[in-house]
Structure 1
């Protein structure tokens, strides 16, 4: 059994945006935290679903056929293979908790300046 993790305290340990930090591992999945602001990049994950749980703020998730607003305390699961474009509004920083398989590439097969290849533990 592991010790409890204070998620809000973990958010205080980093300020960089669009660079997920790993805080736990279970059943072949990483539990990650990320600070998001402005726009990311259109991408998909061929083999992995992603869960985004909003801890603070409002995340806008663009899909090719619709737009979803995910509010604080809500979550959305992006199914594998579905192209998506996360963003925020009005300069707001959004805090998210993510569940992803350990081998999930940050931006799928898209190589972009925001792609993080080596995600670190905090």
Structure 2
């Protein structure tokens, strides 16, 4: 994942949507506790503006309660999840009737299409 992201960023000259991007990465080593530690370091020490990932379901479980507690700091932190439905994420609950009524966006507008 890291190599692919770095490659894509390099291909775009380090700029996404007109903004210079500096990437930070954390390696969980396949350990849930390490996943949480790395996420906290990225948010609290490195002051990242966007979180993407994690890769495995156990990593999501390990950080989901922490991610829910993170608040916007001067509008600089947001949780980015590539999801099919606009109001659904593994980080928050949704109302099933509203979920089923919502349109499927990624069929017409796949994630990161604006980077082309």
TM-score bracket relative to the smaller structure: under 0.3
Q: Which has the higher helix share?
A: 2
> TM-score, normalised on structure 2?
0.26
> TM-score, normalised on structure 1?
0.25
Structure ranking higher on relative contact order (CA contacts 8 Å, 6+ apart): 1
Q: Which has the higher strand share?
A: 1
